Amino acid sequence: MNGIHDMGGAHGYGAVEPGDAEPFHDDWERRVFGITLAAGSHLRSNLDRGRYELEMLPPRDYLAGYFERWFARLIKAGVALGFIDAAARAAIERGQTPTAVPRDHEPLPAAALRHVARTGRPVSRTVERAAAFVVGDTVCARNMQPATHTRLPRYVRGKNGTIVAWHGAHVFPDSNAEHDDENPQHLYSVSFRATVLWGPDAPERDSVILDLFEPYLEAPP
């Protein structure tokens, strides 16, 4: 989706603040991070769906702040899944603990979470079909405007680049976010010259490299 999250090349966000270097600013941000990971499968989501949920927040909520955004997603998911009802939502908004809450889930134990954190969840998959492109090929990032989740940023659409690496097939975010369908696709690193992306004033020798799925790419026109 052409949402507020697709920020590459946007103006207006000011200077970077290298001194703003801690992962968290306040204790509540730590809890929001921990709660999101600890809720795990109870959020009925996946890695890609989780990102899509953030992208679908109203721009005002998205821009409110990083962990404000994560909090808004938790509330939205809790309401959609039925474990936050209208009364509980209103109480949370006032900062008051909801009352008379039934215990109807079983949480992920700490040991299981520690295990996942230290082992991860690889998204590489085996597919029968051969890769359409090889390293060195010139490709064009498709000019497409899906209204749903995609990992093809606007700033490369319609631009030519060069395949610099092939990574086998990985879970395809576009279908995994929308339909919980892994639909693995070949994945490539594609290098775009800065001048192609940003115009002749960009430094001639600089480049930007993106990891792009085969359905995002076509032979150049």
Partner 1 sequence: MSEHRHQDPPSPMALRVKALETLLVERGVVDPEAVDAILDVYEHQVGPHNGARVVARAWTDPAFRERLREDATAAIGELGFLGMQGEHMVALENTERVHNVVVCTLCSCYPWSVLGLPPAWYKSHAYRSRVVMEPRAVLREFGLDVPEEVEVRVWDSTAELRYLVVPRRPAGTDHLDEEALAALVTRDSMVGTAVLPDVDGGTGT
In the list 15, 86, 130, 147, the residue contacting partner 1 (rule: CB under 8 A) is: 15
**Contact between 135 and partner 1 (CB under 8 A)?**
no
Cα–Cα distance for residue pair 30/205, rounded to 1 Å: 41
Minimum distance from CB of 134 to partner 1 (Å)?
18
Minimum distance from CB of 203 to partner 1 (Å)?
7
- Contact set for partner 1, span 34-73 (CB under 8 A): 34-35, 37-39, 42, 47, 51, 54, 63, 66, 68, 71
Q: 6, 18, 24, 16: which is closest to 68 by C-alpha?
A: 24
Q: 166, 165, 168, 163: which is closest to 124 by C-alpha?
A: 168
**Contact between 180 and partner 1 (CB under 8 A)?**
no
Helices (H), 102-172: 110-119
Per-residue x/- track, 85-124, partner 1 (CB under 8 A): ---x--xxx-xxxx--xxxxxxxxxxxxxx-xxxxxxxxx
Nearer to partner 1 among residue 128 and residue 204 (C-beta) = 204
Contact 213, 170 (CB under 8 A): yes
Tokens of 167: 């990574």
- Contact set for partner 1, span 199-218 (CB under 8 A): 202-203, 205-213
Q: 134, 133, 158: which is closest to 145 by C-alpha?
A: 158
Cα–Cα distance for residue pair 65/57, rounded to 1 Å: 12
- Contact set for partner 1, span 137-166 (CB under 8 A): 151-153, 155, 165
Both ends of the chain: CA-CA distance in Å?
Answer: 24
Size of the site for partner 1 (CB under 8 A): 103
In the list 20, 60, 130, 136, the residue contacting partner 1 (rule: CB under 8 A) is: 20
